[in-house]
Amino acid sequence: MPIYELPLLLRIMPKPEIVSTLKRAATAIFEKGGFIRKIENLGQKDLPAKTSSHGVVSRQAHYFVIYFDVPPKHISNLEDIFNRDIDIVRNRIYKHDLTVNNKPCTLEDELKPPPYRRDVQKLLKITERQESRKKKFSYKSGLNYYPFQK
């Protein structure tokens, strides 16, 4: 089972209701044969924009992130369940990439000029490959430059 990340934005409400909403979400996951690895509480925060869901406008929300495992075929069903929940303002399910955090990264590497950075070099290589695929017009003059004014 792959690991998924579920950011949940709950509307502002008292603690018992938050607990019950979280439990509802967790139970939905358990019912699909999954299990939860971790629940993170990021606290109450301002929303980046005035957000409307289920006919209610929210400006703030309780931010939670749930890391869970579930068979991939149930993901769309879970999304549907969370979208129907009126206490959830926003939710989205992402696949948790384990490889991202394993990459070594130092400040020294980050402060290098762009052409020396590994990620930039990677991008340049991709561009080079794309460019090489394109057909370049050949004048067939035997010269390596265009002899006339362009």
Partner 1 sequence: MFSKKFNLIILTPNKYEMKAIVRYEQFILCENMLRVTKLIGSSTLITGNLVSCECAATNSLYSQIIRWKRKPIWLPTAKSKMFRVPVKPVIPKEDNDELQRLSNIYRTYMRSLRKYMIMIGKKNEIQFDHSVVEAAEAADFEKCSAINNEWNEEIADIRKYRLHKERTQRDVGNWWRMKNYKEMLAENQEKVEEEVRSVKKQAESFITAENIDQAIEEALTIVIDHNAAIDHDGNFYKGEYSDTKIDIKQERQLKQ
61 touches partner 1 (CB under 8 A): no
Q: Which of 13, 17, 33, 42 binds partner 1 (CB under 8 A)?
A: 42
Draw the binding track, 62-101, toward partner 1 (x: CB under 8 A; -: no contact). Answer: --x-------------------------------------
35 touches partner 1 (CB under 8 A): yes
Residue 32 DSSP symbol: T
Max CA pair span of the chain: 81
Q: Whole-number minimum distance, CB 14 to partner 1, in Å?
A: 12
Q: Whole-number minimum distance, CB 114 to partner 1, in Å?
A: 17
Looking at the DSSP assignment, which residues form a beta bridge with residue 25?
none
Q: Whole-number minimum distance, CB 36 to partner 1, in Å?
A: 4
Strands 56-69 and 35-53: antiparallel
Q: Buried (b) or exposed (e) across 10-49, using 16+ Cβ within 10 A?
A: bbeeeeeebeebbeebbebbeebebeeeeeeeeeeeeeee
Draw the binding track, 106-145, toward partner 1 (x: CB under 8 A; -: no contact). Answer: -x---x----------------------------------
